[in-house]
Structure 1
Amino acid sequence: MNAISFPAPAPVATRHGAMPPIAVLVLPGFSLLSLAAILDPLAYVQDSEQALSCRTFGLSRRRVCARAGQEFFCDGDSPGLLDAVKAGRAPKLLILCGGPEVAQHHALAALPLIRRAARTGTRLVGVGGANTLLAEAGLLDGGSGAIHWKSARAFGECHPKISLTSGLFTNSGRSGTCAGELAALDMILDLIRREASPSAAQSVCDHFLVGHPRTADCPQPGARGEKLRHLPEVLQVVIGRMIDNMEDPLTSVELLEDIPMSARQLERLFRRHLGTSPISHYLGIRLDAAHQLVTQTDLDLHEVALATGFGSRAYLSRKLKQRYGATPCELRRRLAETAPQPVPAASGFGRTGDTSL
């Protein structure tokens, strides 16, 4: 495993240990792409824009392992950041950078810092799976969230008080969300445009060869609407009904309600454009949703079966085994075996092991 430290803003030395305006909490299993998309643009502008200077903090220690296996050395660690917040030196913005998922024990370790920072008035933004931490802290209740399309179903089941958007990021209120991966670059460009100037954001775009930065409401490429937009309108409507009715699957007649088409015509249309039958496609949608709930939530398997229209745990297990080659219990066991382990307190890692601010 290689330890890396790709270009990142250098630690900012300020009088009386003052905190830079932006802190980035790097969570185990983070996306290298997301972290680089956050740090590189900020590093490019921080010499001329002190309001965008930042430091990175690892969870419990300075050395954090990415989802891809590389290790990143942070400027400090979360206990040191929490001490600074308690001492009245909280950052203006705290970005939580994660990967597709955040392990439960890592979420529990980060929540005290998140809640304390929120109480001090710090604005928090989640990236990727880190949005779960904001949701667990109750900071997104009643608002909207931009969640990666692969995780949206599981997130919605666990956090029904949050309205999900298919956009790339949200930036309203005291807490923001970002779907993660390359959407982090669009979010940071928007931040630079708002906190510095449009010309500063354009300068970053020019340097990093970005032709057209995307706006917050730009749809995620893999989101439902984007996946369906090249299909005939009737298929878009029928598949939309399938997605919206998983708990109690609709019959062919119900799927075609108010649509002047026979079941046989629909079958031909599905085979021509998707290479499968309506029944098989509907089953695949439900199985994919079940797989997401099994691998991304702690929901009881009976609840998963009911939420995806399978009725019983045994029937769900049999169908998942056929599609994914593993039962729900086997899928969860594999995840547990490969999940990042709880991190110990800082000791002997980084440049000096010093976590002071």
Structure 2
Amino acid sequence: MDSVASKKQLFVFYLLPEFTLLAFSSAIEALRLANMVLGFEAYRWRLASHDGGEVCASSGVPIRTESSVAAERQAASRQGRPSMVVVCGGLNIQNHSSKTLESWLRECRQNKIAIAGLCTGAHVLAQARLLNDKKCVIHWENVPSFVERFGSTSVRTGLFAIDGNIHTCAGGAAAFDMMLHIIRRDFGEDVVTGVCERAIVDRMRNSDDRQRLPFSPRVEEHHPALTKLIERMQETLAEPVSVDELMADLGLTRRQVERLFRNALRNSPARYYMKLRLERARLLLQQTSTPIVEVAFASGFSSASHFSKAYRDAYGCSPHEVRKVNRTLFPNAEIALGSDLYRLSETAVAYQS
């Protein structure tokens, strides 16, 4: 009985304004279902916020919390001490962090309490200097601006990362996978299988599974060489290399590579590479106030004029027009980190046309 009791854990979910409901609920549901499979309350949780009041998700759904930062700071040294603090981020993350929150998170680390960030929660952890020398992940839409701001962090492209007592997750359904790994660590594979069966989930994904294959249909598996080429493209967006260099050592001819791309992605390798670079530029324009010429260089363009022409050809408007319209229609658009970024850009483009 003592061994079972020692595995019981308490999670504190700290909700930031505009947090993403999918990531939060996925994490909670994994723990709830684990309790059902086990037949006892192995996992407990409580919800916290800055002042212990109501917090609205990015969808507008209000969630009532029961604890504040002040109360959690006191609980850290008492019986209610949590096993893990989970920071639930979402949109406009730079508006919602605070020195008080960051100090509390550092105290948690000093007290050997595990810390996790869901979705853009990694931004708060980085701001609190908890990701120094740690590998981490963040939602793919937020990678460009995150790297620009926290260049010393080791950002991965997987679903989640566990580095010591620091956990980060890309958000969305990946929060379920991260919690499954924690449950497997605590209670084994059979419990995870039971959780997946109840959640109608076919499998537990691994930490290094890709968040996405850009511009790709969701219904098919892809050739390993195709995935490798795309990874190399993503690693060299700021300093593009030739397709022949990218495909070196893959054992394929140029014609085979061209066929792979056209069959799976309906693009040539060169065109697909350009789409990745322009997507990076688009996200930087929306998420940061970086000068447009620096956005161009960060996206692999040697001149602002070449970048502007390529961007207009792809999206029907110039980088200057997108940034101007975004600032007019959405004053917080340059720091609106989260899953609504493409919707903002599409609205801005439609407004221009």
Aligned to 1:328: 323
After superposition, what is the alpha-carbon deviation per residue over 1:28-68, rounded to whole angstroms, capped at 9, x for unaligned?
Answer: 22222211112223334558555521101124452111122
Give the conservation status (yes or no) of the 8 Å contact 1:167–1:220.
Answer: yes
Matched, 1:106 2:96: yes
Matched, 1:216 2:201: no
Determine the C-alpha separation between the residues in 1 that align with 2:159 and 2:197: 21
Which residue, 12, 19, 40 being the options, matches 1:30? 19
% identical equivalent positions: 29
> What SS class does the counterpart of residue 147 from structure 1 fall into?
coil
Matched, 1:142 2:133: yes
Determine the C-alpha separation between the residues in 1 that align with 2:216 and 2:266: 20
Opposite residue 328 of structure 1, the aligned amino acid is: R
Give the conservation status (yes or no) of the 8 Å contact 1:127–1:177.
Answer: yes
Give the conservation status (yes or no) of the 8 Å contact 2:16–2:49.
Answer: yes
| Change in 2 beyond 3 A, CA 1:85/1:289 | same
| Change in 2 beyond 3 A, CA 1:255/1:68 | same
Give the conservation status (yes or no) of the 8 Å contact 1:144–1:162.
Answer: yes
After superposition, what is the alpha-carbon deviation per residue over 1:79-100, rounded to whole angstroms, capped at 9, x for unaligned?
Answer: 433443477954221011123x
Q: Which moved more, 1:183-192 or 1:164-173?
A: 164-173
Opposite residue 22 of structure 2, the aligned amino acid is: L
Query: Could you tell me how far 1:314 is from its partner in structure 2?
Result: 5.9
Determine the C-alpha separation between the residues in 2 that align with 1:135 and 1:224: 29
| Change in 2 beyond 3 A, CA 1:223/1:74 | farther
Query: Could you tell me how far 1:177 is from its partner in structure 2?
Result: 1.0
| Change in 2 beyond 3 A, CA 1:142/1:271 | same
1:4-23 aligned within 5 A:
21-23=10-12
Aligned to 2:32: 43
Which residue, 62, 66, 69 being the options, matches 1:75? 66
Opposite residue 196 of structure 2, the aligned amino acid is: C
Query: Could you tell me how far 1:145 is from its partner in structure 2?
Result: 1.4
Determine the C-alpha separation between the residues in 2 that align with 1:253 and 1:50: 56
Give the conservation status (yes or no) of the 8 Å contact 2:136–2:162.
Answer: no
Matched, 1:121 2:112: yes
Work out which structure has the larger RCO, using CA pairs closer than 8 Å and 6 or more positions apart in sequence.
Answer: 1
1:263-282 aligned within 5 A:
274-282=265-273
- TM-score if structure 1 supplies the norm length? 0.72
Opposite residue 322 of structure 2, the aligned amino acid is: T
> What SS class does the counterpart of residue 151 from structure 1 fall into?
helix
CA RMSD of superposed structures (Å): 3.8
Give the conservation status (yes or no) of the 8 Å contact 2:280–2:299.
Answer: yes
Determine the C-alpha separation between the residues in 1 that align with 2:216 and 2:164: 26
Determine the C-alpha separation between the residues in 2 that align with 1:61 and 1:301: 41
Which residue, 161, 164, 180 being the options, matches 1:189? 180
Query: Could you tell me how far 1:111 is from its partner in structure 2?
Result: 1.9
Paired residue total: 318
| Change in 2 beyond 3 A, CA 1:286/1:88 | same
Determine the C-alpha separation between the residues in 1 that align with 2:326 and 2:309: 13
Determine the C-alpha separation between the residues in 2 that align with 1:300 and 1:32: 33
Opposite residue 205 of structure 1, the aligned amino acid is: C
Q: Which moved more, 1:114-123 or 1:275-284?
A: 275-284
> What SS class does the counterpart of residue 283 from structure 2 fall into?
helix
* Structure with greater proportional helix content: 2
After superposition, what is the alpha-carbon deviation per residue over 1:172-212, rounded to whole angstroms, capped at 9, x for unaligned?
Answer: 30211111111111111222232345444444333323342
> What SS class does the counterpart of residue 56 from structure 1 fall into?
strand
Query: Could you tell me how far 1:293 is from its partner in structure 2?
Result: 2.1
- TM-score if structure 2 supplies the norm length? 0.73
> What SS class does the counterpart of residue 217 from structure 1 fall into?
coil
- Structure 2 residue ranges without an equivalent (≥5): 1-8, 337-353
Q: Which moved more, 1:318-327 or 1:210-219?
A: 318-327
Matched, 1:230 2:222: yes
Matched, 1:163 2:149: no
- Structure 1 residue ranges without an equivalent (≥5): 1-19, 341-357
| Change in 2 beyond 3 A, CA 1:215/1:301 | same
After superposition, what is the alpha-carbon deviation per residue over 1:109-153, rounded to whole angstroms, capped at 9, x for unaligned?
Answer: 532322232222211011111111112222122221133333334
> What SS class does the counterpart of residue 120 from structure 2 fall into?
helix
